[in-house]
Amino acid sequence: MTGTSSIPGVHTEPSSTTRAATGLLLYLLAGLYFGVVLVKSEAASWYRIQEMFRFESFHMFGLMGSAVFTGMVTTMLLRRSGLKSRDGQTIRVTDKEKGWRRYVFGGLTFGMGWGLAGVCPGPIFVLLGAGVWPILVVLAFALLGTYLYGVLKDKLPH
């Protein structure tokens, strides 16, 4: 984590290179899957997001509720089954950092942005694929916002 650890490729062994490439391809396919679902379920639709934040339809609530329920049950089953991950490791879930300040303040800030242009990070990428070029403005400023957090991090309550 300290400044100088940026030399790439040091740990890669030749034998694992192919496996790593296949792995990366699988993540691309997983992203493709998720992107398709985001559009087909209309979670990437500005209209649906507005409807949700105005409590005018059940659609998004049903969507998120059933997503969380499914994720919860299948993750539990996966862990209970004792199945190893593709690379042979025990399935484990990384715990989020404790605390509440960052989640409240950061969450509010992100929520404000989400409700305004109706895009969260997933849909930003999906919309680019769909050819909605003005979303590049959102992306550029989202990168700027991320950079600003990196600059101000130590001055903010966490």
Residues 30-89 that bind other proteins (CB under 8 A): 30-54, 56-60, 62-72, 74-75, 77-78, 83, 85-87, 89
Query: Shortest gap between Cβ of 155 and other proteins (angstroms)?
Result: 11
Under rule CB under 8 A, residue 24 binds other proteins: yes
Q: Does 22 bind other proteins (CB under 8 A)?
A: no
Residue 5 or 15 having the CB closest to other proteins = 5
Q: Which of 3, 13, 80, 155 binds other proteins (CB under 8 A)?
A: 3
CB of 82 to other proteins, least distance (A): 13
Query: Which amino acid, one-letter code, is at 108?
Result: L
By the rule CB under 8 A, 19 interacts with other proteins = no
Shortest spacing between CB 84 and other proteins, in angstroms: 9
44: exposed, middle or buried (C-beta count within 10 Å: 0-12, 13-18, 19+)? buried
* 95-154: contacts with other proteins (CB under 8 A): 95-100, 102-135, 137-151, 153
